[in-house]
Structure 1
């Protein structure tokens, strides 16, 4: 007879069941559909100008951004492993897409995206979805901040209305070229772009629920049309956008072409996988749900393959649009499917109106996107980390801006791995016990009943013991404590006497854990914190007396504190 509390491993195919199927099995009615329809419409309003702006910044045409939303957006929601994920083009792809189009033409991008889609499907079937935990936070923050700088730089010409025959491809060559063209700044373009920018910022401050991007683009378009302003618009530069979806078409393929585009395809697949799973993790934190990472990778792969065949761009889970979807009340993947449907409806009915949109207003939208991507607060916070993490952050950032995105990621990950091995060598004499948080068997796994150490605790108090280093490879497991089906206690005691080392990502995981516990009305007490973890926590503003995390010397002291807190 099986031991009490043991769990039975579900079949492997459960890992790839879309969340949409799960939702429909649980029951889905008219009330849920109404809420999802409102959320889908809200996200579509946000996605509409953003998709066109990102496509233009990528060196493509605005209609390809809309096609990506429609085709990839439907498939990511319908087949994905997250209840509320919204898929489409994102800022992370701008640099790599622009470079591929410049070097190999749009047909080359289609083939690279198709290959990336197949890579993602294989990665999902190989159950590589949980490997996202091995990408250190300084690497992710460094390359996203670098991409933000590149996006902003790419919009300077349209933002100021500069007259330039061509913009240099290299970052360091762009700014001298902008300076040489400074005499051609257009006051009209400047007024429209900065007016749109001011309107977006004002609405975010005083009317945050309004679709600031769409309102700013619409106001700029109406003003340019009504006043007869001489501006570059989607119509004058691109000839407008079509009112139908293109027919699917296979790109030209050859062994030489595939080999040449393989690095670009890998970069697209890497970015799509990382951003989609990061977005799913953010969504889990906002909703309390749990995504199926391998299912999500397969969906991303199918969506990118389809987007390529229909003449779209690379797609992934979009963190900002997913958050908008959640705040709008979305309850299921139906909201994401409807968001794509609403964008398709715009293409079928109102596509001619897009011809009046000034490029200056879309440049203003992308300036805000770049600012959001830069995550300046997180970047500044990581600058207070130990010297090794700062080096990884700054090196990844610099290489992204000045050299190449793929090279920057490779160097950042390798340097972080070397740094980690060095740190592990320094604590090799410390107890090596592995963390009792089990490895992810699959996305459905649940652990057995709590251990006996909780038996004599006061009511409303729970305890867990961590063993081993809390570094970037294990930090994400801390959040899993909240996903085990336990009742949320009034006080959570985390024993850390056998945690010899904490890095930046570990501090971030602990901070997120405490934040989620606080939202549920749970206090967190850590006990037996060793010198190195205490030093890093204090250095990063999360030590004793610096935040919501409470400290105790040992379990006895922690229990007494917990008893007092639980009795309140």
Structure 2
């Protein structure tokens, strides 16, 4: 590798914090980041404890993770506004690892996952994450949501039972056997917590609903002396000292057994962090460094493990909260981690009174949000192959194993794709997936075609199947224009097939056009794309989206929308 290539390679891993500071950072920036950091810390405080308890460990482990990993992800990451910490996606795999191998086994898993993420980033595999089929992600996420929901029934109802079984069916059988031990006080606190969260979301969406619900339930529990289990009664008091660098016994002899779980943790951390970074980019109009983000996630997981924490990744909800609160640089995430440390040290004596039923209610809401039921139904309306992948991934995630669900989902997606390509190979042979010329070869000279475009109109053509492996090609189309056009024509005459990811990419393109006040015109849809787009409810909308039969009609429409002077 020559010096120029080496510099280009190293630029992939420059933290966004360095970029921000080199651009200039003043008191106004610090004030905005401090407000955002405080807001996110208030949201993250109850979540970190709830996630740790649901994972089968003590609440301070979640706080250590949010503090150590959250700071490192912001300081070293490739996104300006990413907030890192423990997330609900890890609960099923972490719970099983702790049950089978103890907390030392989880530490080893997290260390291995961190090293895998660092390796993936250095090998520049971050760009491959965008090729993950949408039905796999949707089914996997919904399956995890169901697992989280089922794991909270014990605390939500206050059942008197031993350790909750890891297996989904065994867990519900155990609940049924102990249903007679339901504690009315716990049920009441769960309902109060849910009611408070829902009311705040409806009437005061800017308020920290999770924290307020915990405060209300804690006050009720203490004031009325309710016989409901609390953090203190189950775990004792929370530590009021700094996280200590202390590695517990690690069963290195069981490394081979732990590799599948380590891979699952690394996969979850990589996918969720990059999805969160993409969402953040859309909110702030930025662009993250995917490979640098993976390296930062790896370092953060190693750091979290060495301080006795849990696996960590970018948290979409907390990242969105950070952006809405005014955070625009990684300093906001670092402040969030520092304030969590302050909260832990200052509030540790009070946290022991928090009812576990209230924390269970928090996670029930998290599970509901994570399930994305409407998106699940929407994906089911896609072609049968996508629906099969969705349901198979969902079922395997709930009833079997997360690693198996990922592997089978990807394999079946590949077979579905190959089946579709077999039908389309005659049409698509030798044709580029995306042709940036304004016209196809049969329409004549490109220059003369572009000369016919009215001012403020741009045109691109897609050639070939728009499937999960090519859908990301639409992501950067609008970024190629120095000045955004008023009308954007997307020619799809040479697109023989489209799948759920392709329709999702079109919807994302449409949303970006809406934000920039660009009218999107799609021309020349073939029967299969036309049928799938109609099935998945992507309909024309006056002034925003039009479908026309051919390119000449698109030109005529653009003349009406952008008349020449």
TM-score, length of structure 2 as denominator length: 0.94
In the alignment, structure 1 residue 73 sits paired with structure 2 residue 64: no
Cα offset for 1:43? 0.5
Question: How much does 1:9 deviate?
Answer: 11
Once residues 451 and 169 of structure 1 are traced to their aligned partners in structure 2, the CA distance between those partners, rounded to angstroms, is 64
1:182 aligns with 2:179: yes
Secondary structure at the aligned position of 1:290 is classed as: coil
Contact 1:534–1:543, Cα closer than 8 Å, also in 2: no
Taking a change above 3 Å as real, the CA distance of residues 190 and 546 of structure 1, as seen in their structure-2 partners, is farther
The equivalent residue for 1:239 is 236
**In 2, distance between residues paired with 1:134 and 1:342?**
37
Report if aligned partners of 1:437, 1:477 keep a CA contact under 8 Å in 2.
Answer: no
Unaligned 5+ runs, structure 1:
1-7, 439-449
Deviations 1:96-148 (A, max 9, x none): 00000000000110011001001100000000001112211111111111111
CA contact (8 A) 1:538 1:544 kept: no
Gaps of 5+ in 2: 437-445
Query: 2-side partners of 1:452 and 1:224: how far apart?
Result: 76
Q: 1:451 to 1:184 in 2, by over 3 A?
A: farther
User: Does structure 2 retain, via aligned residues, the 8 Å contact 1:493–1:527?
Assistant: yes
> What's 2:60 paired with?
63
Shift in CA distance, 217/253, structure 1 to aligned 2, threshold 3 Å: closer
Give the SS at the match of 1:464: strand
Confirm or deny that 1:17 pairs with 2:17. no
Question: Aligned ranges for residues 280-429 of structure 1 at < 5 Å?
Answer: 280-429=277-426
Distance 2:214 2:313 in 1: 24
Corresponding residue for 1:493?
489
What are the equivalent positions in structure 2 for 1:460-475 lying under 5 Å apart?
Answer: 460-475=456-471
Contact in 2 for aligned 1:528/1:552 (Cα 8 Å): yes
Alpha-carbon distance between aligned partners in 1 of 2:242 and 2:7, rounded to the nearest angstrom: 40
Alignment match of 2:522 (pick from 520, 526, 529): 526
Name which of structure 1's ranges 202-211 and 249-258 shifts more when overlaid on structure 2. 249-258
Q: Which moved more, 1:453-462 or 1:155-164?
A: 453-462
1: CA distance, partners of 2:13 / 2:179: 54
CA deviation after TM superposition for structure 1 residue 24, in Å: 0.7
> Would the aligned equivalents of 2:454 and 2:563 in 1 still touch at CA under 8 Å?
no
Q: Deviations over 1:191-239 (max 9, x none)?
A: 1111001110111011100000000001111111111112111111111
**TM-score relative to the length of structure 1:** 0.94
Query: 1:114, 1:305 within 8 Å by CA — same for their partners in 2?
Result: yes
Partner of residue 538, structure 1 = 534
- 1:257 corresponds in structure 2 to 254
1:490-540 Cα shifts (integer Å, max 9, x gaps): 110111112121110000010111011011111100111111111111111
Any runs of at least 4 consecutive aligned residues in structure 1 with deviations exceeding 6 A, and if so which? none
Please tell me whether the aligned partners of residues 133 and 474 of structure 1 are also in contact (alpha carbons under 8 angstroms): no
CA contact (8 A) 2:389 2:413 kept: yes
Aligned equivalent of 1:278: 275
Identify the match of residue 153 of structure 2 among 156, 177, 184.
Answer: 156
Cα RMSD, aligned residues only: 1.9
Deviation at 1:177, TM superposition (A): 2.1
1:267 correspondence with 2:292: no
Aligned to 2:432: 434
The alignment covers a number of residue pairs equal to 550
Q: Comparing 54-63 with 472-481, which one deviates more in the overlay? A: 472-481
Q: In 2 relative to 1, CA 330–543 (structure 1 residues): closer, same or farther, beyond 3 Å?
A: same
8 Å CA contact 1:234, 1:355 repeated in 2: yes
Cα drift, residue 287 of structure 1: 1.4
Residue 263 of structure 1 and its aligned partner are, at CA, apart by 1.1
Counterpart contact for 2:129–2:274, Cα < 8 Å:
yes
Mapping of 1:118-157 within 5 angstroms?
118-157=115-154
SS in 1 for 2:352: helix
**2:475 pairs with 1:479:** yes
1:50 aligns with 47
Structure 2: distance between partners of 1:71 and 1:505: 35
How big is the shift at 1:274? Answer: 0.5
Distance 1:482 1:452, change over 3 A: farther
